[in-house]
């Protein structure tokens, strides 16, 4: 049987499980949910990830307050410490705040992913970019996404995450933060 509680006060509930015939019982406790904005912690296990926000000249930008029209490059550097086959299928997920627009150069130039030959596939959507690559072939990878601070307001920039799709012990994420797009 599957028992499920959907309550914010889970600590006050209890469940007693007993085998009536003496045979062993096996169970899993699964806790799902999204952390409150800004409470997530940066983590890494078996892969390192550095996220920087820079201008087109490579100068660092503070994403917490950008003027409307500011061009931003989200640069993620990933490094693996070993040659393990666990790095064959890596997936980087970047979700961007609603006030930033993703620049899809493939659409603008009518191109493909040929400018990123190290990637196996990249899915560019309205609010996120999902990048997939074989980390076993590349000990270090830099993935850049061009963005424009477009809509004034205060928005949440969720953490970027990378994980090996078939090896749960390879993952990293940074900490999310509040950002603001301001009118000059």
CB distance 168 to 89 below 8 Å: no
Residue 30: how many other CB atoms lie within 10 Å: 5
Q: What does each of the 184 residues of the chain score in pLDDT, given as a tens digit?
A: 556 666 555 566 677 778 889 898 887 777 676 678 888 899 999 999 999 999 999 999 999 999 999 999 999 999 999 888 899 999 999 999 999 999 987 666 555 545 566 899 999 999 999 999 998 888 899 999 999 999 999 999 999 999 999 999 999 999 999 999 999 8
What is the pTM (predicted TM-score) of this model? 0.78
């Amino acid at each position: 049987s599957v028992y499920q509680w959907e309550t914010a006060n889970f600590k006050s509930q209890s469940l007693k499980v007993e085998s009536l015939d003496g045979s062993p019982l096996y169970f899993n406790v699964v806790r799902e949910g999204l952390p409150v904005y800004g409470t997530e912690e940066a983590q890494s296990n078996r892969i390192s990830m550095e996220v920087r926000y820079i201008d087109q000249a490579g100068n660092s930008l503070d994403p917490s307050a950008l003027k409307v029209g500011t061009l931003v490059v989200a640069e993620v550097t990933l490094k693996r410490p070993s040659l393990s086959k666990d790095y064959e299928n890596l997936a980087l997920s970047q979700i961007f705040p609603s006030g930033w627009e993703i620049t899809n150069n493939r659409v603008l130039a009518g191109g493909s992913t040929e400018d990123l030959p190290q990637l196996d596939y990249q899915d560019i959507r309205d609010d996120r970019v999902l990048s997939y690559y074989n980390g076993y072939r590349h000990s270090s990878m830099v993935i850049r996404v061009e963005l424009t601070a477009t809509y004034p307001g205060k928005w949440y920039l969720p953490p970027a995450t990378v994980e090996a799709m078939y090896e749960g012990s390879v993952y990293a994420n940074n900490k999310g933060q509040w950002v603001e797009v301001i009118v000059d």
